[in-house]
Amino acid sequence: MEFPFDVDALFPERITVLDQHLRPPARRPGTTTPARVDLQQQIMTIIDELGKASAKAQNLSAPITSASRMQSNRHVVYILKDSSARPAGKGAIIGFIKVGYKKLFVLDDREAHNEVEPLCILDFYIHESVQRHGHGRELFQYMLQKERVEPHQLAIDRPSQKLLKFLNKHYSLETTVPQVNNFVIFEGFFAHQHPPARKLPPKRAEGDIKPYSSSDREFLKVAVEPPWPLNRAPRRATPPAHPPPRSSSLGNSPERGPLRPFVPEQELLRSLRLCPPHPTARLLLAADPGGSPAQRRRTSSLPRSEESRY
């Protein structure tokens, strides 16, 4: 693929690695340096055109690789250039491969769910005019060495038939593990997972779920015991032989008697009627400013002149 600007000057190396920042690589000494914003715009143009060409080759409705998607995701793109192609002295682009780590739920050979985060092949394209010349293997092998992974450790997103034949021919990846998503993994994928894949707990059958058990229903029938002191049992008339020592701390709770079952309502009302008045009530009656009834009668029998003196 050719562009109206100098690709050979933009990408000094044969294979250039770009992350989400799309920063221009270091330039060779002695070359002119245009404005940095122009270099980044050129990189964005190359990525957009490569994404369109890859989508057309795979019969996709829309490109899955673009400069805007690169900037919003932590993906890495490897771009392969052709320095010998100089029809206008500007070089050309042969192809690219885009990779990135993704958290996936995949099935193993026993159909158990596993949560993994492997390196995924997200897009791979070599220009039609230079296919079957070893460029695809050169680019793929460079990516494996740079990412330090083995081919069977990769997960491929919606691979085309050409890509599957490519992996079978060069890396002997033939037997796949069936999945329910769009990713394809090969036999040996789970052999070197670090850390090991986390298995999800098995789903509980719907028939085993009950609102509550029979023991729970029996528990709901038991009457709730009233709070203290209504649940206090009557004390014995004779005091204990050895009473417990009195605590010197203030605010201690009074001694509670042993608990007994729920008191019926009629018995509770009968005990309340027979209960003697509290000593505090007697003190309040004694401190009444009106005095006793006899005192009030003596005061009312005095003449009004005598009453005024009091």
DSSP state at residue 210: -
Please check whether residue 49 is in contact with residue 1, taking contact to mean a CB–CB distance below 8 angstroms: yes
Sign of dihedral through CA atoms 147, 151, 152, 158? positive
Q: Is 22 left (phi over 0), alpha (psi -120 to 50) or beta?
A: left
Say which residue the tokens 């491929």 belong to.
Answer: 156
Exposure pattern of 233-251 as b/e (b: 16+ CB <10 Å)? eeeeeeeeeeeeeeeeeee
Output the known binding site for acetyl-CoA: 124-137, 160-169
Report residue 51 CA to chain centroid gap.
32
Determine whether 208 is exposed, middle or buried from the number of CB atoms within 10 Å of its CB (0-12, 13-18, 19+). exposed
Determine whether 80 is exposed, middle or buried from the number of CB atoms within 10 Å of its CB (0-12, 13-18, 19+). buried
Output the known binding site: 124-137, 160-169
Phi and psi at residue 28, to the nearest 5°: -70, 150
